Structure 1
């Protein structure tokens, strides 16, 4: 059930499609005002300070979420949680107003929304209580009118990886549809998606205004307060286990155990990362060899749903993934005995591999 400004937006018996409900939200004056306020906030840059004692350490206790991952965090243990690198993807925050427990996901496909929301709510919405849940949606943009990628001049349009109706709209529509159908009370607080998150260059090409955000807990004692702000993370703060987690996103599409699910990353109760295992077959090494030989524009076309809107480090990140798959063709070397990779919080706020 969706609320805006303290009032239900739709009747419980409404049979409107997700796309119709989404349009109503995009046009709601309360959400337009909230989105304008969000866009006026300076973008925060999250980085590990130089000279930190351990690789991946930081003075701020944060949890970073990669594509198709989710994490539920306790504000008594974590200072901020966030994600970035979203173009056609959508970041979703669900926070319990009473307990402060907050779940964040980086959703990339309508197929993971139903089960993914259930995963997020499992530790946030107590079924014994009528939980009031704040919701923030950030990411996705008007990606349907794809012009020629500035990095991909000379490559025919027919060779480009584009969906006729785009990727962002079906994903946003599905999220709204599922929120509306569920019994929990969802208060939409931020809706910086689609047209509200789109900028255009002089040639009419569209790009997302924001690719990421952080949710900051303003007090470690009073858990009922927090705020969401635009943000980007550098490589040092996308931790722990960056490359392995990127690979899980790549190979999980071929692993039936992850069908329709968000990837598990984080143990909420004891503040540690627990990277659930995944497997890959020799094909991935051969595929990585082929991709590694491509030019940068060709990698953008092959590996991105929005090749002309990716960040400057996208290709480099992809090449590092290819290198790892080439050097580690057997997944059992990464996940011995199919056990998770575990990282404990260090004394200075970083991560130590167990």
Structure 2
């Protein structure tokens, strides 16, 4: 059940099939959530880095957990200071935080078909089974990818003009499942779709913010972006796991589980890929930057400046390691423990 401002939320629905649509539309127009989104928009974006050479503030003392697309992590505030994600265009970052314990689960959802089971995965360690659990909820990311160039973003329907676009369908599914479940979800931030839409120099609609950080001790949410040094551990292998999961039936409808809440470790389970993926990488590597964007992104005009480079690095790895067993000898996972400086160390 969704709550806004401490009050149960409901939206008129003429049919069950339109329930998620009407709920999302009404939430996007709710004065409390509109005000919260405006406040979030005014927060300066934090540039997160663990390397001083990039000119960002040094943050090695902070114990951070970073999640990629289709991953989730539930963190204990006694062990982790910050948890976050970025690189979201049509994806949505979802935060669930237990008001009593501070246990916080964050996911980077990319398609509607992972929402139902994915939400159950997230709730497994944040819900108090002996009492009604009060959960603060934040949805950040996605943008109005239904908008044509130079459209009027101020129109009343900018957040829900078309149902065939990635962002709207994903957001609609999330609020539909939240409303359907018995837990008490207090939505604090709904910075998605039209609220998170701006314009680039070519006049294309783009997300204002692509990521965020959660301060686990307080539950505060701030806009954030990460550089390559902070998207860790095991960056390239985890990116490949996302690709491989689409063809792996064991991951159907599920978020990727990489982080162990109790031990504060990353455990990257083995994933397999076929030689054909390496052959595809050889062909894709020869594409131009614009062709890579058109072929590999749901929002080619809205991707970050390092999107193409990240894709090429994935393909280079696959070309150099066509046999997945070279990456996971004896089918053993990659395990990373927290180092003394707050980073990660391979075990």
Which consecutive unaligned segments of at least 5 residues does structure 1 have? 52-56, 149-162, 219-224
SS at match of 1:235: coil
String of CA shifts for 1:220-273, please: whole Å, max 9, x gaps.
Answer: xxxxx3200000001000000000000011111011111111001100001010
What CA distance in whole angstroms lies between the structure 2 residues aligned with 1:164 and 1:11?
18
What CA distance in whole angstroms lies between the structure 2 residues aligned with 1:74 and 1:137?
20
Checking the alignment, whether the CA contact within 8 Å between 2:11 and 2:26 is kept in structure 1 is no
Residues matched between the structures, number? 330
Displacement of 1:146: 5.1
Checking the alignment, whether the CA contact within 8 Å between 2:144 and 2:194 is kept in structure 1 is yes
Counterpart residue number, 2:84: 82
Q: Does 1:234 align with 2:233?
A: no
String of CA shifts for 1:155-205, please: whole Å, max 9, x gaps.
Answer: xxxxxxxx9821100000000000000010000000000000001357652
Counterpart residue number, 1:30: 32
Aligned ranges 1:4-15 → 2 under 5 Å: 4-10=4-10, 15=16
What CA distance in whole angstroms lies between the structure 2 residues aligned with 1:203 and 1:287?
31
String of CA shifts for 1:265-315, please: whole Å, max 9, x gaps.
Answer: 100001010112211111100000000011111111111101111011100
Moved beyond 6 Å, runs of 4+: 11-14
Counterpart residue number, 2:305: 312
1:251 to 244, 250, 264: 244
Counterpart residue number, 2:157: none
* Higher RCO (CA < 8 A, seq sep 6+): 1
What CA distance in whole angstroms lies between the structure 1 residues aligned with 2:149 and 2:12?
41
SS at match of 1:207: strand
What CA distance in whole angstroms lies between the structure 2 residues aligned with 1:212 and 1:231?
5
2:115 to 99, 102, 113: 113
| TM-score (normalised: structure 2) | 0.91
Q: Does 1:61 align with 2:63?
A: yes
Counterpart residue number, 1:138: 140
Counterpart residue number, 2:284: 291
Q: Does 1:330 align with 2:306?
A: no
What CA distance in whole angstroms lies between the structure 2 residues aligned with 1:325 and 1:210?
30
| TM-score (normalised: structure 1) | 0.89
Counterpart residue number, 1:99: 101
Counterpart residue number, 2:204: 205
Displacement of 1:58: 2.2
Task: Provide closer, same or farther for how the CA distance between residues 11 and 27 of structure 1 changes in structure 2, counting only shifts above 3 A.
Answer: closer
Displacement of 1:217: 2.7
Q: Does 1:340 align with 2:339?
A: no
SS at match of 1:199: strand
Which consecutive unaligned segments of at least 5 residues does structure 2 have? 54-58, 151-161
Checking the alignment, whether the CA contact within 8 Å between 2:67 and 2:107 is kept in structure 1 is yes
What CA distance in whole angstroms lies between the structure 1 residues aligned with 2:219 and 2:35?
19
